[in-house]
Structure 1
Amino acid sequence: MSTPRSDPQNAQYPYPSTTEAGDQPPTSSTHFPPYLMSAQRPSGRAAGENFKNQSLFCGVLGLVAAGFVLGPMAIYYAQKAEALNVPATGGKVLGWVNVVLCAIAVAFFQAMIYFLVFAALTGFGDPYF
């Protein structure tokens, strides 16, 4: 257990000093190196290129699977890239293709369900009706 000190407190650093009475503070201060450039967030053109690549990736992957989710994501990332003056036409076109194909698929399956319900209610195709 340490005994309390009667060191004067500095207004800028109100805690008591940790140096002994006879010790001198170190003359050289420790400086840390700046952060690496790769650890910082990209800005400007680099961020636009990242958004363009994400848009293209979502557009292509949306053609294969989960186009109803990846299509709007591709459009969103393309708009973010174009806001940073990076053209992302491919991702935007693929995103809209995904949206249109999913809308057609939903309309087709909805029509199939209506037809099957109608057929079941009316007895369409029943040989004994």
Structure 2
Amino acid sequence: MPDSISSTMNDSHAAIILTSLIIGCVILLGVGAALICSKCRRMLQKSRNTVAASPTELPKIDRICDPPFLYKNQSSGMVQCLVCQGAIHVGEMVRQLSICKHLFHANCISTWLHSSSTCPRCQRDIRAPDERIIGPCSSLELA
């Protein structure tokens, strides 16, 4: 009988230690995830608060976007910025693309236009006409 009690106690100690290790790992993972989330939130907030376009690129943005303005709720539904996936709220600075009239946060669309030449919503080419490449010229054939 004493051997079975000793064996049972060793098993229960092992179970307690294993459970403690698992709980400790879960806590460490949670703390790590919280730190990563807070860093991402700070980066997103910082990108929303800073002007994304450099002075040399502002004319390009001004040619394809209407000037920034404060959003006023003009519809009954929610308007979403597809760049950041966030809702556009009354009083936020927004810009509208001149060609397709889609609306985005001003900083979000400025950032988007640094790396893309299409509307995030409809994928339409939004570059100014003088920046578009039509394609290879078929009238210039080499003999």
TM-score normalised by the chain length of structure 1: 0.30
Which structure has more strand as a fraction of its residues? 2
Larger Rg: 1
Which structure has more helix as a fraction of its residues? 1
TM-score normalised by the chain length of structure 2: 0.29
